[in-house]
Amino acid sequence: MATPELTRPELVCPAGTPAGLRTAVDAGADAVYCGFRNATNARNFPGLNFTPEELQGAVAYAHQRDAKVLLAANTFPPAGQTALWKEAIDSGVALGVDAIIVADMGVADYAARAHPGQRLHLSVQAGASSPEAISFHVREFGIARVVLPRILTVAEIKAVHDQIDCEIEAFVFGNIGMMAEGRCALSNYATGLSTNMDGVCSPAGDVHYEEDEKGNLATRLGPYVIDCFSCGENAGYPTICKGRYRVGSRADPYYAFEEPVSLNLSALLPDLMRAGVTALKIEGRQRSRAYVRAVVSAFRAAVDDVLAGRDPALADLLALTEGHKQTQGAFRSKTWR
């Protein structure tokens, strides 16, 4: 018998490619999110994303299986260069996506005015974490759902929920991200390409690995050494925020910004659902279909168990986490260095 106080949340899953989308839908996703092959989405990497023709087929595939498609148009246009973002909005609407995820207020304004019937979600890139900021976007642009930054405890999410008039989406697995999402300029400093405007954090063309005669590995982003790993130590993908540095008077290098660790809130699912979270988001559009299948299947089973009043059988996903480490981040409590 279903637990009466809990409402079934939407399981929102990553789709980096058409094949990834089909995998997520078949594994039990209620909705998938994806982007076009350009700077309008925050995962603008070679080999990822969708052409308009591919998105048309993906929408048909998902809708035939009662799943939704959410289009990420969640980067910030450079001043005076909005045509590409307007085109993405227009194309998404024409192709029948169920919602468009926006971050920039100008893009949100265009979507609301040009397509008043189109459902809009506010990206985590917008950094809206207070009831006042969220309510502004709801009032001005008709935002139907906000994706909350990963800086709030479950109790704070409940407090926000009680003061706003839109749905809440929260991350439950994957990259934990910098604590001020939508504001990162580190990759732009090193490579000249912006996470927020070009959709590229640590572009592959700027990533280099150098191994010495002892088997130790140095990773570089552009001209900068990001980290050094001893022989046999796991080396993550080099992003500046997850590198080790010598800072101030400390002689030993350490993770000055954040450690390479993944968010996993599977144990907090009942708490998030009681707090009013409408949608549970899995991160990982750059990850493999095997990753998507395993993580989506595990969370599908866990959510269904919670709704049925059973203790969720939590799959061991540690092997799929970054650095083989996982955390509940700020969701359980906030502890700062």
Phi/psi of residue 273, each to 5°?
-65, -40
pLDDT at 182 over 80: no
Q: Model's pTM, two decimal places? A: 0.92
Confidence of residue 332 (pLDDT cuts 50, 70, 90): confident
Token pair of 319 as six digits? 């092997």
Q: What is the pLDDT of residue 3?
A: 43
Q: Which residues contact 178 (CB under 8 A, 6 or more apart)?
A: 184, 241, 257, 258
Is there a contact between 20 and 58 (Cβ–Cβ < 8 Å)? no
Residue-range domain boundaries for the chain: 10-176+261-332, 187-255
Q: What is the pLDDT of residue 329?
A: 82
The per-residue pLDDT for range 267-316, each reduced to its tens digit, is 999 999 999 999 999 999 999 999 999 999 999 999 999 999 988 877 78
Token pair of 200 as six digits? 């590229």
Confidence of residue 198 (pLDDT cuts 50, 70, 90): confident
If one counts every other C-beta atom within 10 angstroms of the C-beta of residue 336, the result is 5
Indicate the DSSP class of residue 315.
Answer: -
Q: What is the pLDDT of residue 334?
A: 64
If one counts every other C-beta atom within 10 angstroms of the C-beta of residue 218, the result is 16
Confidence of residue 30 (pLDDT cuts 50, 70, 90): very high
Q: Is 82 helix (H, G, I), strand (E, B) or coil?
A: coil
More confident residue, 325 or 115: 115
| Mean pLDDT, rounded, for 215-225 | 88
Is there a contact between 197 and 77 (Cβ–Cβ < 8 Å)? yes
Q: What percent of the chain has pLDDT over 90?
A: 61
Q: What is the pLDDT of residue 214?
A: 84
Confidence of residue 178 (pLDDT cuts 50, 70, 90): low
Tell me which residue of 31, 101, 16 sits closest to 69, measured CA to CA: 31
For residue 4, with 0-12 CB atoms within 10 Å meaning exposed, 13-18 middle and 19 or more buried, which class applies?
exposed
If one counts every other C-beta atom within 10 angstroms of the C-beta of residue 94, the result is 11
Tell me which residue of 238, 218, 236 sits closest to 321, measured CA to CA: 236
Q: What is the mean pLDDT of the chain?
A: 90
Q: What is the pLDDT of residue 2?
A: 46
Q: What is the pLDDT of residue 1?
A: 41
The per-residue pLDDT for range 143-156, each reduced to its tens digit, is 999 999 998 999 99
Confidence of residue 176 (pLDDT cuts 50, 70, 90): confident
Q: What is the pLDDT of residue 180?
A: 64
pLDDT at 256 over 90: no
DSSP codes joined into one string, 286-300 = TS-HHHHHHHHHHHH
The CATH superfamily of 10-176+261-332 is: Aldolase class I (3.20.20.70)
Q: Which residues contact 58 (CB under 8 A, 6 or more apart)?
A: 15, 18, 21, 22, 32, 34, 50, 69
pLDDT at 179 over 70: no
| Mean pLDDT, rounded, for 197-223 | 87
Tell me which residue of 124, 125, 102, 127 sits closest to 115, measured CA to CA: 102
